[in-house]
Amino acid sequence: MHIRKLPVRLSQDAEKEIALRLKAGDETAFEEIFYRYYKHLMAIGMRFLKNPDLAEDAVQDIFLKLWDHRDNINETCSIKNFLSISMKNHVLNVIRNHHQSIWEYLSAEIEELNGAETTDHTFQFQEYSAILEQGLQHLTPQREKVFRLRVFSGLDNEQVARQLSVSVNTVKVQFSQATKFLKDYLSKHADLEGILPGLIFFLLSR
């Protein structure tokens, strides 16, 4: 697909103007938004999904939803930020549906924050990972296994149930109790400032 390249950055007035046109059903406004942000969203998709077909499908879904729900657009908000957040949420759902590890998603998110350099975010991530590992030691053996298989191995409830020879309902209950305990444990033992705790809590709550 040949994508006409347009500058990603727009002035606040220009963003409001194009959002109002889109809200009114202007197809040329939608086309302009598509060409302006397509590559940006594809970059997000490829960073996390590592698969051009899945990334392309995700981008198409995001733009389709944007058009279908254009009446709900808030013209005072950044279109780029709205699309980026929508794309990341969509990608997380794709990752879960394809049984990938949500910890890999979080690691990729940290890489995005860091760029190529080691920063405070890296050390924070290492700290939270260590504290999370400590918290896992306080879980019952079965609860710990369920959590590791769900979060680190990316298995779904049915796969975990088969592997541990327990019911799906048991997996759901054990995972729910494990995540509740670990979120409380992180709250008590980690310095929860900045974006990383929010990302971890978001991923554990999905």
Shared domain for 140 and 116, answered yes or no, is: yes
Residue 118 pLDDT class (50, 70, 90 cuts): very low
Supply the CATH number for residue 38's domain. 1.10.1740.10
Q: How many angstroms separate the CA atoms of 145 and 201, rounded? A: 19
The answer to whether position 5 is within a domain reads no
The answer to whether position 7 is within a domain reads no
Residue 117 pLDDT exceeds 50 = no
Shared domain for 17 and 111, answered yes or no, is: no
Q: Which of 69, 97, 125 is the last residue of a domain?
A: 97
Shared domain for 47 and 85, answered yes or no, is: yes
Shared domain for 93 and 106, answered yes or no, is: no
CB 161 within 8 A of CB 167: yes
Residue 30 pLDDT exceeds 80 = yes
Tell me what pLDDT residue 196 has.
Answer: 46
The answer to whether position 2 is within a domain reads no
Tell me what pLDDT residue 161 has.
Answer: 94
Q: How many angstroms separate the CA atoms of 9 and 109, rounded? A: 22
Q: How many angstroms separate the CA atoms of 86 and 80, rounded? A: 10
Q: Which of 78, 97, 116 is the last residue of a domain?
A: 97
Shared domain for 151 and 114, answered yes or no, is: yes
Q: How many angstroms separate the CA atoms of 142 and 75, rounded? A: 49
Shared domain for 118 and 200, answered yes or no, is: yes
Range of the domain at 19: 12-97
Supply the CATH number for residue 180's domain. 1.10.10.10
Tell me what pLDDT residue 123 has.
Answer: 56
pTM over 0.85: no
* Total number of domains in the chain: 2
**Would you call 192 exposed, middle or buried from its count of C-beta atoms within 10 A (0-12, 13-18, 19+)?**
middle
Summary mean pLDDT of the chain = 77
The answer to whether position 151 is within a domain reads yes
Q: How many angstroms separate the CA atoms of 115 and 2, rounded? A: 28
